[in-house]
Structure 1
Amino acid sequence: MSNSLAIAAVTATLRTRIFARLGGPQVTVAPPNRAPDAVGGDHVNLFLYRADLNPAFRNADPPGWPPGEAPRPVLPLVLHYLLAAYSDDEGKAHELFGAAMLALHDGAVLSGEEIRAATAVSLPSSDLHLQAERVKITQETLSQDDIAKMWTAFGTPFRMSSAYQVTVVLIDSARPGTSPLPVLRRGADGRSPVAHPDTASLAPALLGVRYAVPGQVSALPGDSVTLLAENLPAVALTARLRHLRVPRTVDVPLPAPAAGATEVELALPGVPLPTGPWVVDLSATADGSSRTNELALGVGPSVTALAAVPASGAPGRTTVTVTAAQPVLTGQRAAVLVGARQLAVDPLAADTATLSVTAELPSGQTRVRLRVDGVDSEIADRAAGTFLTGPTVEVTIP
């Protein structure tokens, strides 16, 4: 998902791609009635003439939200562009038009890297490049009647043109969603049923992850977790940890388990292990050519300090600042959960352990969590079945 700069980011990326293919002539974004005189000389015009809602995402929860929470629906957009070329020499205009069409045809997907490169200078606060859903370009066929009506509405003579649609652009709601406090106990041992379809398999496999206390859903850097497995060879193993959001991979050597062992203890590396969603697998070979399946492993952030002060120059609003033990990395999504309200942190320009959000908040004492890529800091004593108290989980809103 992305912020309100997403539309401008798409336009900037398309302009950059077409400009690179043309190798000189400018790419304008003027309305068609002003496009012929937008710049002097040969040029291509890319005009955004309509923005529709994508019905497939209209009522869907935003990607990455945990079950049971109530996020605000995203604004899912389909952007419609009209491409045309202008030149004093009509033959030259046709050359430019063909090159521009080929630029859009050859790359049907706007990758995150391409979007970031095109917007890093002109739109540094845009985070469209972090959107999980791919942004796709398709040529749109318009009927002759639609074309005639369109150019009549533009109030300018007809010009050879081609229509394109870009989808899907997911813009986050500016209003916070709700994130209820976590469930302290889910049932016996805090575990759900485990389905294993093939008990006859002899290949090493991971079956689950057990945290130190039943009910935990993540561990801290430096903690130990237990990997539940079957058919493990009695040789030295290597656990590979792979972060799902940032490019981080960590290998942890493990001693050989006993013959027939069904559990392996894994000591997580300490800080600066990035927080967020990881996956883990095991390998019994030095080159990693034979690996087990991957299992999800959450590494949670740890809050060391909280502060809440009236926002400067914004009466009625409060700024809540969270200091974490581990820095949140550029490219990660962070949010501060104040009570049951989730407040997104603006995209990070650099790694930082200090994160702030500002909003209208009810006065009084409330619990605060830090969420990094969907993994929350712990605010409950799982062993005792109670919520934690103190300056790292509670703050007083003035």
Structure 2
Amino acid sequence: MLLQLSLVTETLVRLVEQAVIHSPDWPANSVPTVSPDPPDRLSGDRTLGLYLYHAQEDPARRNAPPPEDSSLPARHSPLPLLLHYLLTAHSDLPPSTRTYEEQHLMGLAMKALHDHSRIDDDTRVGNDQVMPATLRGQGNRLLVTSRTVPPTDAVSYWAAGQNPPRLSAYYEVAAVLLAPEKTTSRPARVLSVGTHPVLGAGPYVTRTESEVTFTVPGAPGPRTVRARPAEAAVGDRFTIVGTGLGGDSVQVTLHHAQWPGPVAVDPLAWGVTAAPGGVTATVQTTAGGRAMLPGVYAVSVSVQSGPGSPGATPGPVLVSNSSPFTVVPAVRSVSAPTAERRVTVEGGRFDPVALPEDEIQVYVGTARLSRRQSGATDAGEFCVLDGTHLEVRLPDGPQPGDRLPLRVIVRGAESAPRWVTVP
């Protein structure tokens, strides 16, 4: 991703320049000029112009799936662009040779853009990397496509500029993403979502739910709210509510977008208990050998009734629909702040190896803290010490005595409410 469109133009200019120089058809002692200027500003004996004359939002990617947190404003999503370039040549040589020289330059430049239609970090011409250092290492890939412009449209383009028609070619550069803004604050969480039962045969899940207990600063005691869909950390119980969920054999199955397929939980390890109106279970660290990292999951229930009489065949296995629930990061304790405003958060899972940098976020109040990979944290930073501990240093803005919510978000899942008092 990028913010400077000029870096895309610089990449294309460098590509064309190096490709022409390394071409066996180009004179060894001659150096072409490749300019990003419009055609009316070109000068020199052997000059190519690669001018960005139009930019638009990419219609093919306009309706891309929304980000995981769809509550964030549009400015936090990347903007896909199509860039349109005009390639032309210019020569101030004598009239007997200038047109031939322009056509020679155009042929070499068009071959360069054809031969390197996909540009990424590894694209080289000769020994030189094409992309500037500021674009490399960020997953930028440019797709260059020649646009078919009817001759009548090309003539009208030059006529609009009051210039005679000149030999030109038109290109479209796709896969350009303008970088989104980073989130510096986050809206309040939603603790209740309404659902509606649907009548039908077999087991049916209407919702998942759990109890979330927290203590608001200044309140006389803890408060418990019911979260729907369920929000449970490892070690917490949640309930699958529905109809027809009881049977002689009940199996709870989990689904996750990054898993290759559904996973059945161990009913003993997960403490699965079933009744016709609901199934309860306790979240464990693993399910079917897969780590239960924080995030959004889906759960379904399979029910089978036993034989009605000795020797009879057991009933069919009936599978319910899936319903979402969230495995949240646990915050079991928060140490008292030190004089440097550092606190230690004990909980989990904060697995530093399995969770990339942006998948663990910490907010104090509405401010998002920056993640430090190692070393002592500065104001407004946090560091993952291990899978169960975070070091958080409060920002400088809040005043002593302020009580601020401490929010830990892992893969879009937010911990139960906690507060910290600024020393």
TM-score, structure 2 length as denominator? 0.53
What amino acid sits opposite 2:412 in the alignment?
G
Aligned to 1:282: 301
Q: Provide the rounded CA distance (Å) in 2 between the counterparts of 1:30 and 1:38.
A: 10
What amino acid sits opposite 1:36 in the alignment?
E
1:327 match: secondary structure? coil
Aligned to 2:180: 172
Q: Provide the rounded CA distance (Å) in 2 between the counterparts of 1:360 and 1:122.
A: 31
User: Could you tell me which of 208, 225, 250 is aligned with 2:238?
Assistant: 225
Q: Does 1:338 align with 2:364?
A: yes
User: Could you tell me which of 215, 225, 230 is aligned with 2:226?
Assistant: 215
1:135-183: CA deviation from partner (whole Å, max 9, x where unpaired): 9998766652686599999xxx85544223336x363314613433x57
Q: How much has 1:301 moved relative to structure 2? A: 0.8
2:211 match: secondary structure? coil
1:86-141: CA deviation from partner (whole Å, max 9, x where unpaired): 9989888777655656x69xxxxx9xxxxxxxx9x997863789xxxxx9998766
With a CA cutoff of 8 Å and minimum separation of 6, indicate the structure with the bigger relative contact order: 1
C-alpha change, 1:72 and 1:246, in structure 2 (3 Å) is: farther
Aligned to 1:35: 16
1:211 match: secondary structure? strand
Q: How much has 1:296 moved relative to structure 2? A: 1.1
Asked if structure 1 preserves the Cα contact closer than 8 Å seen for 2:20 and 2:108, the reply is no
Asked if structure 2 preserves the Cα contact closer than 8 Å seen for 1:274 and 1:326, the reply is yes
Q: Provide the rounded CA distance (Å) in 1 between the counterparts of 2:182 and 2:318.
A: 46
1:29 match: secondary structure? helix
Asked if structure 2 preserves the Cα contact closer than 8 Å seen for 1:310 and 1:319, the reply is yes
1:25-60: CA deviation from partner (whole Å, max 9, x where unpaired): xxx92428x8334664249x99794785749999x9
Asked if structure 2 preserves the Cα contact closer than 8 Å seen for 1:363 and 1:396, the reply is yes
C-alpha change, 1:94 and 1:179, in structure 2 (3 Å) is: closer
Aligned to 2:328: 300
C-alpha change, 1:292 and 1:63, in structure 2 (3 Å) is: same
What amino acid sits opposite 1:29 in the alignment?
T
Aligned to 1:362: 398
Alignment of 1:309-320 (within 5 A): none
Q: Provide the rounded CA distance (Å) in 2 between the counterparts of 1:73 and 1:98.
A: 34
What amino acid sits opposite 1:165 in the alignment?
A
Asked if structure 1 preserves the Cα contact closer than 8 Å seen for 2:363 and 2:406, the reply is yes
Q: How much has 1:339 moved relative to structure 2? A: 0.8
Decide which structure has the larger Cα Rg and report it. 2
Aligned to 2:197: 196
Q: Provide the rounded CA distance (Å) in 1 between the counterparts of 2:373 and 2:85.
A: 31
Aligned to 1:22: none
Alignment of 1:1-398 (within 5 A): 4=2, 29-31=11-13, 35-37=16-18, 40-42=21-23, 49=52, 52=55, 54=57, 63-65=67-69, 67=71, 73-74=76-77, 76-80=79-83, 82=85, 126=138, 143-144=153-154, 148=158, 158=167, 160-166=169-175, 169=177, 171-174=179-182, 176-180=184-188, 182=189, 193-197=194-198, 199=199, 201-213=200-212, 214-216=225-227, 217-232=230-245, 234-244=247-257, 250-254=263-267, 261-270=276-285, 273-284=292-303, 291-303=319-331, 304-305=333-334, 324-328=347-351, 329-330=355-356, 333-343=359-369, 345=371, 353=387, 354=390, 361-364=397-400, 365=402, 366-379=404-417, 388=418, 393-396=419-422
Q: Provide the rounded CA distance (Å) in 2 between the counterparts of 1:323 and 1:127.
A: 35
**Equivalent residue pairs, number:** 318
Identical-residue share of aligned pairs (%): 16
Aligned Cα root-mean-square deviation (Å): 5.7
Q: How much has 1:64 moved relative to structure 2? A: 3.3
Q: Which runs of 5+ in 2 are unaligned?
A: 25-33, 37-49, 90-102, 121-130, 213-224, 305-316, 375-383
Asked if structure 1 preserves the Cα contact closer than 8 Å seen for 2:330 and 2:348, the reply is yes
2:349 match: secondary structure? strand
C-alpha change, 1:194 and 1:49, in structure 2 (3 Å) is: same
1:176 match: secondary structure? coil
Q: How much has 1:82 moved relative to structure 2? A: 4.4
1:334-369: CA deviation from partner (whole Å, max 9, x where unpaired): 321111234465899x99644768966333332211
What amino acid sits opposite 2:349 in the alignment?
Q
